[in-house]
């Protein structure tokens, strides 16, 4: 069903990797949301007016306010598509994340508002004036809201948009709230049982809970998330596919929104290789990654000394020591600077995220072990954080 609408309204709808196509999906979802809510509002207000039902008219006005979520979605996608400028060289794509966060806060506010009115009804129960006609009109809006929720969620998942997922959750919450109201109406109409306040309170708690969950999800990319492991593996796979590459480390990925990913890495090459050839190699890798993965990629060339007895012996000693520390990775950027009185061994060790590593203890143990090779050896260790799953 979704592809039918996408094919009609979204040009080149299958190419979701294209930021322009992704933007079209967002605009389509926003415009559709505004249209559906305005239609619902107009129908309910009109029916409420001719029938004299205030509750139906009030629900129609509520649909009109629901259109504001779609307006925010529309504005968010419009602004996030703005090109980069002097003040924002990385573009404006993160505005979409901010839009999702705003919608999440609105959902929480709606939940609290419903909770307050529900508590008021529990304290001061009101006699409900219910008719079959009122129930019918309320039920009529449920399929429309379900359609809106499913479509927004489908598009949100398709283009990886937390904003549209938040909009879908908002529509889903409307469905739950409307169903709860209808259940309350039926119980009141048929059995004269007034559970309107109790049902409203339960629904409000659910809405607040879902809003808080959405806040966490939408705020996470704004704070900065661990990069997608699939993307990391793809970058590493391309780099290591070149036979003259020895290894890779210090891979970092920065996400500035959809279509705005920047990455960098240190690429290890043979130190004896001609420097211009090595430069040509890493430059080729940069172009290949940028073109194939549609990201901005830069690299640093790290020369590695091979077949050196001293460095091999030093590496073995270091690896033996850090085997007792599973939260620490193998050494890299190892350099051996020999002088008359002291030989400095400089290298980096990578710590697992959040690991509580006793850096002084490791440094002490490494230096003790190295001095068994030579009393002149002194290790200078830089402890790096791990930003990827490499």
Q: Taking residues 36-51, report their average pLDDT.
A: 80
Domain with CATH 1.20.1510 in the chain: 3-223
Residue 55: per-residue pLDDT: 56
Residue 238: per-residue pLDDT: 96
Residue 51: per-residue pLDDT: 60
* Domain range 309-385, CATH architecture: 2-Layer Sandwich (3.30)
3-class DSSP state of 180? helix
Q: Which two tokens stand for residue 204?
A: 């409000």
Strand stretches in the chain, DSSP E: 245-255, 261-270, 296-304, 332-338, 343-351, 377-385
pLDDT tens sequence across 125-155: 766 667 777 788 778 889 998 999 999 999 9
Q: Taking residues 367-377, report their average pLDDT.
A: 90
Residue 189: per-residue pLDDT: 77
Residue 54: per-residue pLDDT: 56
* Domain range 3-223, CATH architecture: Up-down Bundle (1.20)
Domain with CATH 3.30.70.1350 in the chain: 229-304, 309-385
pLDDT tens sequence across 61-93: 677 777 888 888 889 999 998 989 999 999 999
- Residues of the chain above pLDDT 90, percent: 31
DSSP secondary structure of 218-269: HHHHHH--PPPHHHHHHHHHHHHTSTTEEEEEEEEEEE-STT-EEEEEEEEE
Model confidence at 191: pLDDT above 80: no
3-class DSSP state of 323? coil
Which is nearest to 333 in space by CA: 383, 375, 264, 280? 383
* Domain range 229-304, CATH architecture: 2-Layer Sandwich (3.30)
Give the predicted TM-score (pTM) of the model: 0.78
């Amino acid at each position: 069903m979704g592809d039918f609408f996408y094919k009609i309204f979204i040009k080149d709808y299958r190419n979701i990797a294209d930021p322009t196509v992704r933007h079209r999906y967002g605009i389509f979802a926003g415009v559709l949301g505004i249209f559906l809510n305005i239609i619902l509002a107009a129908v309910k207000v009109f029916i409420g007016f001719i029938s004299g039902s205030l509750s139906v008219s009030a629900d129609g006005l509520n649909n009109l306010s629901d259109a504001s979520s779609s307006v925010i979605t529309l504005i968010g996608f419009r602004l996030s598509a703005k090109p980069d400028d002097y003040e924002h060289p990385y573009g404006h794509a993160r505005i979409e994340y901010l839009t999702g966060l705003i919608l999440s806060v609105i959902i929480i506010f709606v939940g609290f508002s419903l909770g307050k009115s529900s508590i008021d009804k529990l304290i001061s129960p009101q006699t409900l004036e219910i008719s079959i006609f009122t129930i019918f009109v309320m039920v009529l809006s449920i399929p429309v809201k379900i359609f809106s929720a499913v479509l927004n969620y489908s598009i949100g998942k398709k283009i990886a948009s937390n904003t549209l997922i938040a909009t879908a959750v908002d529509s889903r919450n409307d469905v739950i709230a409307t169903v709860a109201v209808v259940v309350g109406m039926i119980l009141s109409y048929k059995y004269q049982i007034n559970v309107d306040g109790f049902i409203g309170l339960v629904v409000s708690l659910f809405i607040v809970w879902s809003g808080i969950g959405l806040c966490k999800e939408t705020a996470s990319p704004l704070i900065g998330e661990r990069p997608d492991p699939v993307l990391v593996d793809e970058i590493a796979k391309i780099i290591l596919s070149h036979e003259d590459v020895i290894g890779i480390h210090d891979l970092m990925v920065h996400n500035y929104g959809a279509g705005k990913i920047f990455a960098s890495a240190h690429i290890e090459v043979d130190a004896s290789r001609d420097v211009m050839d090595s430069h040509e190699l890493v430059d080729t890798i940069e172009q290949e990654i940028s073109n194939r993965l549609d990201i901005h990629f830069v690299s640093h060339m790290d020369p590695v000394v091979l077949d050196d007895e001293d460095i091999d012996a030093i590496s073995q000693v270091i690896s033996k020591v850090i085997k007792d520390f599973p939260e620490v990775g193998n050494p890299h950027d190892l350099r051996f600077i020999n002088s008359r009185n002291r030989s400095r061994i400089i290298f980096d060790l990578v710590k697992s995220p959040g690991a509580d590593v006793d850096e002084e203890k490791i440094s002490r143990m490494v230096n003790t072990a190295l001095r068994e090779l030579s009393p002149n050896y002194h290790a200078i260790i830089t402890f790096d954080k791990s930003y990827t799953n490499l």
